[in-house]
Amino acid sequence: MNKRLLLLLAFASPLWAGEPQNTAPEWTAEAWHETLRNMPYGNAARGAQLAKEGYCYTCHGDRGYAPSRNAPSLAGQNQAYLYKTMLDFASKRWWADHKDDVMHNAAITFTKQDYADMAAYYAQQPKPFFKRVEKPNHVADQLARRGDHTRLLTPCSSCHGVRGEGGVNETPMISGQSAFYIKRQLEMYKSGKRRNDVEEGMRFVAEQLTDEEIEALAQYYGNGQK
């Protein structure tokens, strides 16, 4: 069975998929840093071809600018984060519900070298335009810039950058994503359904947030995109 047919079947598989068989251990800092050290060098030109052959544009848009609020934009995203994401979908470390079967079944058709190549391609694309909200929600602005020491919450900007542009290693760019997508990820972390964060870092943060704070942060970083 060729790769293209496998990818086509990936879109249909959620209709009959069972519960995830996630046997991969959760990420420790040591395990992730070792994986990062061994990440292959990415060939962006080859990655562009793989992304085309894999129909990535169907959900993530041309050059990684997602046309739908349901899928993330990949353009300008942190290269290490993209590589890690593919590893996590393949191992089902990232498996919140059956919607993620599409990415799991796509990821297992590629190699680690393929992951690195596609990550290099998308990372080289211009980042989505970031438009700062003129009058940002005060609660979200405080959490983003100052955090909340009473709950041991560091500022979002300390990891994700002042404008949400992303940080070092696996810390992703979050600005330019839809508010809907950001909110869903925070909710998945809060509920424990998303479990691919290193040392449970995002789960700890999300568990401290109220539903209102999650909504406010989603709008803050979502640039007004619903």
Binding-site sequence positions for heme c: 56, 59-60, 103, 156, 159-160, 202
**Closest CA relative to residue 79, chosen from 169, 201, 175:** 169
Determine the Cα–Cα distance for residues 38 and 226; give it in Å rounded to an integer. Answer: 38
Sign of dihedral through CA atoms 164, 110, 48, 70?
Answer: negative
Give the residue ranges of the annotated binding site: 56, 59-60, 103, 156, 159-160, 202
Query: Measured in whole angstroms, how far is the alpha carbon of residue 192 from the centre of its chain?
Result: 16
Q: In which element (H, E) is residue 149 found? A: none
Write the CA distances from 164 to 78, 93, 156, 180, integer angstroms: 11, 24, 8, 16
Q: Cβ(165)–Cβ(128) under 8 Å?
A: no
